[in-house]
Amino acid sequence: MSHTKIHTNRSPVSRLIAAITLWFQTSSLTSRLFVGIAILFLADALFHSISSWRDTEILGQQKKRGCPNYFEYSKSIHPPLSEGDQQLSYMRPEPDCRTFRSKAVENVIKDMKERLADPDMARLFENAFPNTLDTTIWWYTPHDKRTGYPRTFIATGDIAAEWLRDSANQLSVYTPLISSDEHLKSLIKGAVIQQAMYMRNDAYCNAFQPPAEAKIKKVPSSKDTVSPKPDWNQVFECKWEVDSLASFLDLTNNYIKYSGDITILSDPIWSTAFTNLVYILKTQSIPTKDEHGRALVAQYTFQRDTMSGTETLCLGGRGNPIKGGTGLIRSAFRPSDDACIFQFFIPGNAYMAAELERIAHYFEIAHLNGPSTTARSIAEGIRKGINDYGVVEHKKYGKVFAYEVDGFGGTNIMDDANLPSLLSLPDLGFLSVEDPIYQNTRKMVLESDGNPYFVNGRYYGGIGGPHVGLSYGWPMSMVVQIRTSEDDAEILKLLEKVVSTTRGLGLMHEGIEINSPTHKYSRQWFSWGNSEFAKAIIGLAERKPHLIFKDEYSQIPYRVQDQPWYKGI
């Protein structure tokens, strides 16, 4: 028997329509015209609102009712749990709540889950690899009317702003897949274009607000005194970090490498950004003083009202002096957003040199000889500067790379977990992992005796940094240690640490408290760290499958380009 309740009375909507009909029949002609026009305007606005909402839904933004706030969602355990000892949470949103979906990414997840021997590692990869697409594509349009291109806004995760460096690293794990997924290719091209648009006016800045077209509520920008003055409607924070511009080149280079599309280099939006990049690199190689010892006009200054010395610059916002004629580029801040002590930041300079060399190659293919010559010239100067000023003799470790220098002899020996770092130099493409100076440096930065920010506690240890203090080690540094190691025992030990310290959440956290038995963490939702972990696992799948794969796959390197679903360019 049916239990459906039959309603004999008219619905409220029916009664409303009847009332409106009666009013139109009894009202004056003028009133009917006025109200009719108003209804047309309301209908048009409602149509556009619905259209906009439908576009948003198609593009995957988390604006639909019922989708959880991922910042809160990522703090809790969600079934099904992994079947390993760690019983890690499943941390992906429901498909309709994911901010972007990619068939190629899902194919890789399926392949890796089938092959990975450790169910906890498989779960961590399943959560981490798609995390940027699942949660941080806060705005994407495949065809922007203003530019004619796709545009993409990539939030850093728990902060509603886009960092040039973070977003490039967040997306880097997906670029090898773009020839097999046109939608993913469009998304990443949109990210390149959006970064270029930010850099047209504010290339000194590191973090940006969502574009106005995204109609995303903005969080208040930093209230800092910066010169040149940025557009605070667009800028979230304006710390000059040389690696931010290197990250823009990195994202562009990876897009071109895997798509074969070099036309982007000729686009006015991108070429204007590159022109600004070159201008800044040249101005930031100008010394603090001229040959007579007189202070020159500072090209960039930054001051913040703060109690933290790492959040502002001395000498009226210009930072400590640098020497001229070194070939190096000054950087006011590090990738941790902490102020440099000596402003020739060596990892950032190495990153810039490597990316300038890559982009010069693509300029040559595109027959853009002027920009190619410029890029190579700057890169050569940086490499020479690093060799001349960035390599120092250490009493214990021999010749090593310094973290920061000033050209006068001032040297800062340390490393930080944030990328680029000294540990990551081979990852950056600056040198070979076998380089003897790098090997000395690697040993130094992975020991507390050599690196003041290598911390050890009762329950955890690793490279941290001043950003979160001396009580936290960063899992991201362990991921880079894995990627720069050929030692199977070292890699396995690090993998065990990374997988076992997520506090059951199955996500990469920013930092782990080294003396906490429950692995207290900072920032449970750290999309950049998730992408870095996924890159490490994909890298091991190709170069050391015997360490992570089931027996039947242990001797078969996994390369995405070898899979039946993959389409090359």
pLDDT tens figures, 423-461: 999 999 999 999 999 999 999 999 999 999 999 999 999
Report d(CA 350, CA 422) in Å as an integer: 9
pLDDT tens figures, 145-183: 989 999 999 999 888 999 999 999 999 999 999 999 999
pLDDT tens figures, 382-416: 999 999 999 999 999 999 999 999 999 999 999 99
Q: Which residue has the higher pLDDT, 442 or 17?
A: 442
Report, as an integer, the average pLDDT of 509-516.
94
pLDDT tens figures, 180-238: 999 999 999 999 999 999 999 999 999 999 999 999 989 899 889 999 999 999 999 99
> What residues contact 369, with CB distance under 8 A and at least 6 apart?
363
pLDDT range class, residue 47, cuts 50, 70, 90: very low
Q: Which DSSP letter does residue 331 get? A: -
> What distance lies between CA 156 and its chain's CA centroid?
6
pLDDT tens figures, 352-373: 999 999 999 999 999 999 999 9
Report, as an integer, the average pLDDT of 474-485.
98
What the chain holds in terms of domains, given with CATH numbers, is 39-562 (1.50.10.10)
Q: In this structure, are strands 235-237 and 344-345 parallel, antiparallel, or unpaired? A: unpaired
Nearest to 203 by CA among 241, 256, 259, 148: 241
Please spell the DSSP secondary structure of 519-548, one letter per residue: --EE-S-BHHHHHHHHHHHHHHHHH-HHHH
446: number of CA atoms within 13 Å, CB side? Answer: 18
Mean predicted lDDT score pLDDT of the chain = 91
User: 2 pLDDT exceeds 80?
Assistant: no
Q: Give the pLDDT score at 511.
A: 94
Can you tell me whether residue 405 is helix, strand or coil?
A: strand
User: 132 pLDDT exceeds 50?
Assistant: yes
pLDDT tens figures, 313-339: 999 999 999 999 999 999 999 999 999
Q: Cis peptide leading into 228, omega within 30 of 0? A: yes
Q: Give the pLDDT score at 20.
A: 54
Please spell the DSSP secondary structure of 18-35, one letter per residue: HHHHHHHHHS-HHHHHHH
With beta carbons less than 8 A apart as the criterion, state whether 357 and 376 touch: yes
pLDDT tens figures, 103-128: 999 999 999 999 999 999 999 999 99
Report d(CA 283, CA 300) in Å as an integer: 9
pLDDT range class, residue 50, cuts 50, 70, 90: very low
pLDDT tens figures, 517-554: 988 998 899 999 999 999 999 999 999 999 999 999 99
User: 418 pLDDT exceeds 60?
Assistant: yes
User: 32 pLDDT exceeds 90?
Assistant: no
User: 65 pLDDT exceeds 50?
Assistant: yes
Report d(CA 105, CA 87) in Å as an integer: 24
